[in-house]
Amino acid sequence: WSGLMSLCARTRVDAAQHGINVVVVASAPRASDLSSSVVPLFLHQVSLSGPEEPQRRDMLRGLTRGLELGPDVDLERLAKLTSGLLLGDLSALVAEATRAARHRLLVGLSEEELLLSGVSLQKQDFMAALKALQDAQAQTVAAPKIPSVRWQDVGGLQQVKRQILDTVSLPLTRPELLTLGLERTGLLLYGPPGTGKTLLAKAVATECSMNFLSVKGPELINMYVGQSEENVRQVFARARSAAPCVVFFDELDSLAPSRGRSGDSGGVMDRVVSQLLSELDTLQSTGVFVIGATNRPDLIDQSLLRPGRFDKLVYVGVNEDRESQLQVLQAILRKFDLEPSVDLSAILERCPGHMTGADLYALCCDAMTSAVKRKISLIQQNLPMATELVLVIQVFHITPVVETLSLSPSIREKLWNSS
């Protein structure tokens, strides 16, 4: 810093001697990282934030000017999907889409024919480029991105879905409600483990076309003084730059326990909770929604549960009726190959009455493992066409799994207490 200060001083003296006006411009990622002796050298400070949706739309129009766009390319929609991207990122997006279009057309055309016919950018080119760009960002700087979980992947829980959509999607679909003060920024999902709280949060982000930033409570805690609070600030700063965004705090009770507890070395957790409260109070009209999940809401600091913060508490319980369990099982089996003759209702009748989504997923995984073992056994016996058999879950794969099925620990404890 001393070298920079002496350079500015010499430049100022030389400019004054020769009658030249010199303007010194400097840039930094964060003004807080600069030394207190350097900041007074610059008379003006300009904070540059990420572009919002109208600005991204104009940038995309400028970057694609002169390019041939297909009829299915919607720059309005693309501007919504590129939240959190800067001008350089959008430029890379257009360049990557151009390369994707070239590769797509080279399959049926030669290089000369491609030059004569020109390259037309289609929607699939932009989607492929956007996915590659978001994956690269997520790996380098843990940038938020839109997950790929749909409502079809979440079986049952119809009432819970309705409550969540009323809280999150209404301000996005009906922005005129914001003028009436009908705005919420957070909700808390609580209930036994394995009931689908994390899956619900991802589905909300996908269905509402919002970025998703998942945060585990313990990963924000740091051994250095002040670093834990800085981690909380960085999470919300990343969420604001990627708005509209859903910030999902898993295991919230480990991040925001009741303040004033004994055993809190140096008051670290108290400061983290205070920082979290201050960040939640600044989320009004920012397009950032906070969803928390916990198994123990009684351990969370009560100031987080007041209106304006996590003011909507939604209980995500165990599906005890067979119809809801059947919906959950059908949603899970969308990712597996199932023999059409398998009667899922008959299988559920043989299962315990209290089963979480995690229990049903374990049932499907064990059945698929049984199918894999059977195929390996056929291959080892050198039976003809054994290697070409398609892995399909059949009834005789599921029956032994049902007989040895063990429930989640929380469900066993609930049944024990009720008895």
Answer yes or no: is 413 within a domain.
Answer: yes
Q: Clarify whether residues 197 and 252 are in a common domain.
A: yes
Contact 243, 288 (CB under 8 A): yes
Edge-to-edge order in the sheet of strand 211-216:
211-216, 245-250, 288-294, 186-190, 312-315
Last residue of a domain, one of 72, 107, 141: 141
Position 146 in a domain: no
pLDDT per position as a tens digit, 376-402 = 887 888 777 666 667 777 777 777 777
Domain boundary among 112, 141, 170: 141
pLDDT: which is higher, 227 or 6:
227
Q: Are residues 12 and 96 in the same domain?
A: no
Are 63 and 135 in a shared domain? yes
Find which of 30-44, 65-79, 374-388, 395-409 is predicted with most confidence, using mean pLDDT. 65-79
- Kindly state whether residue 47 falls inside one of the protein's structural domains: no
**Could you tell me how far CA 300 lies from the centroid of its own chain?**
23
Number of domains the chain is built from? 4
Residue 177 covered by a domain:
yes
pTM attached to this predicted model = 0.68
Q: Same domain for 85 and 173?
A: no
Do 170 and 35 have their domain in common?
Answer: no
Residue at a domain's end among 141, 172, 207: 141
- What confidence tier does 417 reach under pLDDT thresholds 50, 70, 90? very low
Tokens 């309005």 sit at which residue?
Answer: 76
- Helices 227-241 and 268-280: angle between axes, nearest 10 degrees: 20
305 & 181 share domain: yes
Query: Would you state the torsion angle of the CA atoms of residues 169, 170, 171, 173, taken in this order, to the nearest 10 degrees?
Result: 80
Q: Is residue 46 part of a domain?
A: no
CATH code of residue 344: 1.10.8.60
48 lies in some domain: no
User: Are 21 and 158 found together in one domain?
Assistant: no
- Pair (107, 228) in one structural domain: no
Q: For residue range 235-277, what is the model confidence (pLDDT) as tens digits?
A: 888 888 777 778 888 888 888 888 776 555 567 888 888 888 8
Asked if 411 contacts 192 with a C-beta cutoff of 8 angstroms, the reply is yes
- Whether 300 and 233 map to the same domain: the answer is yes
**In terms of C-beta distances under 8 Å and separation of at least 24 residues, what long-range contacts does 171-176 make, across chains too?**
172/208, 172/210, 172/244
Domain hosting residue 354, numbered range = 322-418
Question: CA 276, CA 307: separation in Å to the nearest integer?
Answer: 15
Tell me which residue of 349, 350, 290, 360 sits closest to 318, measured CA to CA.
Answer: 360
> Which CATH number goes with the domain that contains 235?
3.40.50.300
Residues 180 and 129 occupy one common structural domain: no
Domain identity same for 337 and 307: no
The answer on 256 and 308 residing in a single domain is: yes
Has residue 88 been placed in a domain? yes
Fill in the DSSP letter of residue 257.
Answer: B
Q: DSSP class of residue 393? A: B
Distance, in Å, from the CA atom of 85 to the CA atom of 79, rounded to the nearest integer, reads: 10
The per-residue pLDDT for range 85-117, each reduced to its tens digit, is 788 889 999 999 988 888 877 765 665 655 555
